[in-house]
Amino acid sequence: MAEKGKATVLGRAELAEALRVTPMRITKWASMGMPVAFRGGRGVESKYNLQAVLAWRSQQQNLVVGGGDAPSTSLNLGEERARLARAQTARTMLDIAKRRRELLPRDEVVRDGKAVIGAVRAKLLAMPSRLVQMGIVEAVNRPRLEAYLYEAMEEMSRWKTRLELLEQQ
């Protein structure tokens, strides 16, 4: 590796190693317009300014991939297609689950949940009277049992969903 002032000038193999790509990729990029500090010939290796190449790569990575052969190794068309296929599969699975009524709209779940909670509340509030009528609880203990049930329901009413907890942060 040769140093010229502040510029780091590298051969093809050294540049490939520095960028963690193959030497053939360096040749391909050079044919696509990557800056070459010194163009070699037969038996003479080309040299590349590392800073100029890094700037060129950064510029190439910021370009919109238009279906051509993008020089950037970080833009992989196969990986992007696979990611798109996974997203489409997930959406299809959600649509199927909705049609099968395995997934319900949020408003239906909330409405049904409120109905269940209301029914449970009514049963809990009727419990002290029923227990006194059945002789399981003495009438003198009824107010304490009612107070305990109200305390428990008050505590449960402060329960938060994960979404509500996240929104508070």
DSSP codes, 57-91: HHHHHHSPP-SS--S-SS--HHHHHHHHHHHHHHH
**pLDDT tens digits, one per residue of 12-31:** 999 999 888 999 999 888 88
Same domain, 29 and 52: yes
Same domain, 21 and 55: yes
What's the mean per-residue pLDDT of the chain? Answer: 84
Same domain, 90 and 126: no
Domains of the chain: total: 3
Domain annotation covers residue 137:
yes
Helix (H, G, I), strand (E, B) or coil at 139: helix
Domain that holds residue 146: 106-159
Same domain, 115 and 128: yes
Domain annotation covers residue 42:
yes
The answer to whether 49 and 11 have CB atoms below 8 angstroms apart is no
Same domain, 40 and 16: yes
Domain annotation covers residue 99:
yes
Same domain, 92 and 123: no
Same domain, 31 and 49: yes
Same domain, 50 and 34: yes
pLDDT band at 3 (very low <50, low <70, confident <90, very high): very low
Q: Mean pLDDT over residues 93-116, rounded?
A: 89
Q: What is the pTM for the complete model shown? A: 0.41
Q: In angstroms, rounded to a whole number, what is the distance separating the alpha carbons of residues 1 and 7?
A: 11
Same domain, 8 and 54: yes
Same domain, 10 and 33: yes
Q: What is the pLDDT of residue 63?
A: 65
Residue that wins the pLDDT comparison between 161 and 125: 125
- How is the beta sheet containing 2-4 ordered, strand by strand? 2-4, 7-11, 47-49
pLDDT at 167 over 90: no
Domain annotation covers residue 164:
no
Q: What is the CATH number of the domain that holds 57?
A: 1.10.10.10
Q: What is the pLDDT of residue 81?
A: 84
